[in-house]
Amino acid sequence: MKPVQRLLIAGIVACAAAVPTLAHIEKTEPLQSLRQSYFALIGMSFGPMADMVKGKIEWDQAQFERWSSDLAAVASYSVERGFAPGSEEGRTRAKPDIWLNLDDFNERLAGLRAETAKLAEAAKTGDRAAIQAQLGATGKACKGCHDEYKAKDYLY
């Protein structure tokens, strides 16, 4: 076998081996994976904006507008199906209380969508005080729901 062929085969084998680790979705817990992916994206979109408002990274108006519209778009995704009956089991930080208070939980999701939409609107104005206030209101929606319904550690 030529060295090039050997390299090619090694490459294919390496790719095949990498596939399961690339997949973030747990086959036995797809709904838990779905909602965790949603919140991971929410967190990673919100975090840099908070850093910008706090001055940890330099203010960049265009970047903030993009991030805030991304956050609103991500928040609008119908994550409700990730909380279908039975998905309270498994590797999750979602407290069982969610399934006893689904109306309240869903209202909080609606609140998250409303606050992130307002943040994207505020961002467009470029008014730093308004942006900061609305970032705070959005953060309150996160914290309010986490205090009630998200455990700090995995439950199982």
Least distance from ligand HEC to the Cβ atom of residue 138, Å:
5
Query: Nearer Cβ to ligand HEC, position 7 or 102?
Result: 102
The CB-of-3 to ligand HEC minimum distance in angstroms stands at 42
In the complex, least distance from residue 4 CB atom to ligand HEC, rounded to whole angstroms: 41
Dmax (CA) of the chain: 67
> Given the complex with ligand HEC, which of 134 and 138 has the nearer CB atom?
138
Q: Measured between alpha carbons, how far is 28 from 135 in angstroms, rounded to an integer?
A: 36
Nearer Cβ to ligand HEC (1/156): 156
CA geometry: angle at 90 spanning 35 and 105, to 5°? 45
Measured between alpha carbons, how far is 32 from 25 in angstroms, rounded to an integer? Answer: 9
Q: Which is nearer to ligand HEC, 63 or 139 (CB)?
A: 139
Cα torsion through 14, 19, 20, 23, rounded to 10: 150
Site for ligand HEC, rule CB under 6 A: 32, 35-36, 39-40, 42-43, 46, 92-94, 105, 108-109, 112, 138, 141-142, 145-146, 149-150
Contact predicate 97/155, CB 8 Å: no
Q: Tokens for 32?
A: 């838990």
Q: Provide, rounded to whole angstroms, the least separation between the CB of residue 67 and ligand HEC.
A: 12
Q: Which is nearer to ligand HEC, 32 or 134 (CB)?
A: 32
Terminal C-alpha separation, the chain: 50
Smallest gap from Cβ 10 to ligand HEC, in A, equals 33
